[in-house]
Structure 1
Amino acid sequence: MKRLFKITLAILILVIAGSGIFAFYIIFFGGKDVAVPGLVGSPVVDAVSLTEKMGLLVRIDKVDSIQPAGEVVSQWPEPGSRVKKGKIVILKVSKGGDRQPLPDVRGMEYGQAVTRLQESGFDVGDVVRINSDSRPAGVIVAQSPASPVMVPPGRRIDLLVSLGPPRTGGKIVVPDVLERSEKIARQIIVQSGLKVGTVKYEYTYMTPAGMVMNMDP
């Protein structure tokens, strides 16, 4: 009886081991070649069903996208690739959710850009300041993500802000703040490494209240 039990156990172990070896061979070495189908744009349920019917394995990665939730937005390997059965196909699937257009704040003064982003439902992320020959101090040079793009509300938007042109010969280039509001003009001057001097207020019908009409130097 014990001998019969040992023989049965040995056969069972051999069957299990053989199945494992066979599965390993099929996944990594065996099986017929199949062409990977085009799955981009398909609902993930349909994509997985089709892929598994072809003898392929599936890995799903969820990503931010403007496409509807559950839609395949990219795949690997590429459609038409010849692979062995048991090969893993990676699907990038949209998380969906609310998306709204991100405003383009390049060229705006920093304060205006922050206000515009917050009014649009976004938060300000990292702010990096650099010298720029093309933008006066305090003006947005670039943003990340770049616009136009659809992103989730509440997303943190990183900003690159100009410090104005670099110093030349140990001197600082005075930024042009004419026709800017006093608040913005002060910000630009301070961000350029300068100090605001004497401020004179004059009555005029030609310009709005609070706008810079003259500067020296």
Structure 2
Amino acid sequence: MSLDDARTTLLDADLQVGQITSAESRYEPGTVIQQSPEAATRVRRSTPVALVIANPIMIFVPPVTNRPMKDARSILSNAGLQIGTVTAVESDNEPGIVLEQSPEAGSRAPRGSSVSLAVSTPRMVNVPPVVGLELAAAREVLERSGLVPVTDAMHSQNDQALVTSQNPEPSSTVRRGSSVVLTLRAVAEPPAIEPPSPPALTPLPWTAIITGAAAITILAGALLFMRSIRTKPAPPAREPHVSIREKLDYGTQQVQATGNPEKAPTISITVRADQGDQEIRPS
């Protein structure tokens, strides 16, 4: 019986309720599981009767965090516990993983009591629109939203390719980490304009090179000769010197000027007796 019923029974029998203690028991908590003196024992009136009431059996709570929900349920059941409130929490972990538990692992709880759990659920995000963007920009937008862009192998390396469609559609709600398939169209690059090549130089034949060199040499020699003529003063003209060392007769005689006989001029001298003069002139 319960403690209240036991107290009423003792008072009706002119007995008193003595010391009350508790002990873990498989009986319902609060149930009187022992008494002293025991029932049917003869005692004096107003004798106190000690009572022992049942307390729930306490057990250690096992750890179930970072385990799938299925495993956590089995572990708690084997320990004499049951699952209480389950709260879904958005997380990057796999769905259905136990993130938290209450009471915590290692604490004592009554057998048969409940353990509340927080279980991971996928993070949900809205798919952003990327149609019309270049592949590099579309990748950045999707990855910033926690999504994975997927393209075909042909255009995966062409960052300038344009996104023409996407799946899922923009504003769709998907799990974080989901893939978004992009359809791309390559952009034609303008043709490269090459600079005009310089005209090819035709090598001169050896005859032309030799002729040109000879002409330059002759021209340089002529210039040097003309410069020497202009700069070198002409030597003063030497007047012929005539030395007459013998008596001349009347008439015209030729006398050679002194100096080099090959280069000295010949002088004609005319002696006139009537006038007594001498005329000297080159012959």
Give yes or no for TM over 0.5: no
Which structure features the higher share of helix residues? 1
Which structure features the higher share of strand residues? 2
Structure number with the bigger relative contact order (C-alpha 8 A, sep ≥ 6) is 1
TM-score range, shorter chain: 0.3 to 0.5
Bigger CA radius of gyration:
2
